Amino acid sequence: MSRRRLSDMSRSPQLSEAETRRRLREACRIVLPGFRTGPPAETFEAMARWCGDHDVRHDLYGEGAVVANFEARIAELLGMPAAVVMPSGTLAQMIAVRIWTERRGLSRFGAHPTSHLFLHEREGYQALFGLHGVPVGARHLPLIARDVESLAQPLACLLVEIPAREIGGQAPDWNSLLALKAAARARSLPLHLDGARLWECRAFYDRPHAEIVAGFESVYVSLYKGLGGLSGAVLAGEAEFIAEARLWQRRMGGNLVTQTATVVSTALLFEARLSALDACYARARGLAQALVATPGLKVNPAVPQANMLHIFFESPAEDVARRRDAIAAREHIWVVNDPRPTDVPGWSVSEVYVGDTLRDLDEASIVDMFARLLQD
């Protein structure tokens, strides 16, 4: 081998910008967005202790007490007769749409223009099943009854995301949600709840999860968004619906040999995380109110409906990211995740999810950190 090739092999590869920023974030002692997470070793040690304390045995293709008991707990919490654990929300929602379109004999389903199915899943519903997704409602507002009443074509089902992540965690108020359900019922239109962050909006409605879910024929919830599991999702509905979902799960390769790790990683944090979200929501409301008075910053929604919101900066995304990186390198504090451009030239936006770090820090210091993202 030539000396040149040996030299090339020994040279460290140049890190990408994304990898450099990932390492910078990992080196920070404080990360404002989200909940604190430890290294994998700590997570797995906590899971092992929980398994020992609860005499956990591996499930086999979903059969076993650890999965069955967890599915029953989620079904009870959501007020649904049955539920099934799935490896991802993408799979769970694809299956829900497939079942409703097959039952109704229609290839069209509706969803908000910012639905995860439209923006992040590579048109899977079309590529796999030949289905047609119809955007319903206004791009920057949550779905309401008028959107259902103005439908110009029949749909097999309508997906409703509560709260809607891409518009800052907005959700319809309680009366608007009831009206939406009534409008769908009047048209015999099945509603599927994209409840990836359903856990986060219970405090806004101040009602049990089952009361929020009532009127939806099926519902998906995430096991890692808000709850802190390693991954996974649960799809819930009537017993016959879930039996069909299990069939499609097998057909689509989602019936894994074991889902013990998914369930255990969620179950060990489950009650603590649910009980923490009310305080996180209260902090989100206070933070939004404080940020409104900060020059160069805007928030959406002005009054949050979940423990998340969008912060808009009167500065280009690359400048906000550069200032964020400088603070991280100098003070080891990660203020926001990657900002992105908005439709308004010169402005950028970043999602802020309020977890235990933002909940526990002094509000004035938090506002100061966000304001510094506008200052060179």
Average pLDDT, the chain: 94
Q: What is the pLDDT of residue 15?
A: 80
The CATH number for 17-35+271-372, chosen from 3.50.50.60, 3.90.1150.10, 3.30.450.20, 3.20.20.80, is 3.90.1150.10
What are 247-273's pLDDT values in tens digits? Answer: 999 999 999 999 999 999 999 999 999
Q: Which residues contact 68 (CB under 8 A, 6 or more apart)?
A: 59
Contact 221, 233 (CB under 8 A): yes
What's the rounded Cα separation, in Å, for the pair 247 and 62?
12
What are 273-323's pLDDT values in tens digits? Answer: 999 999 999 999 999 999 988 999 999 999 999 999 999 999 999 999 999
Whether the per-residue pLDDT at 114 is higher than 70: the answer is yes
Q: What is the pLDDT of residue 2?
A: 44
What's the rounded Cα separation, in Å, for the pair 264 and 93?
22
The packing angle between helices 317-331 and 17-26, to 10°, is 40
What's the rounded Cα separation, in Å, for the pair 155 and 61?
34
Whether the per-residue pLDDT at 183 is higher than 90: the answer is yes
Q: pLDDT band for position 182 (50/70/90)? A: very high
- Spacing of C-alpha 203 from chain mean position: 16
In CATH terms, the fold of domain 56-268 is Aspartate Aminotransferase; domain 2 (3.40.640)
Q: Which residues contact 343 (CB under 8 A, 6 or more apart)?
A: none
Q: What is the pLDDT of residue 269?
A: 96
Q: pLDDT band for position 38 (50/70/90)? A: confident
Sketch the domain layout of the chain as residue ranges. Answer: 17-35+271-372, 56-268
Average pLDDT over residues 208-225: 97
Cis peptide before 163 (omega within 30 of 0): yes
What are 136-160's pLDDT values in tens digits? Answer: 999 999 999 999 999 999 999 999 9
Q: Which residues contact 40 (CB under 8 A, 6 or more apart)?
A: none
What are 15-33's pLDDT values in tens digits? Answer: 888 899 999 999 999 999 9
Average pLDDT over residues 124-144: 97
φ, ψ for residue 299, nearest 5 deg = -125, 150
Q: What is the pLDDT of residue 376?
A: 79
- Spacing of C-alpha 257 from chain mean position: 25
Q: pLDDT band for position 5 (50/70/90)? A: very low
How many angstroms separate the Cα of 341 from the Cα of each of 32, 115, 314, 365? 21, 19, 10, 26
Whether the per-residue pLDDT at 10 is higher than 80: the answer is no
Tokens 């108020």 correspond to what residue? Answer: 173
Which strand (E) or helix (H) includes residue 58? none
Amino acid (1-letter code) at residue 220? Y
Q: What is the pLDDT of residue 13?
A: 63
What are 234-245's pLDDT values in tens digits? Answer: 999 999 999 999
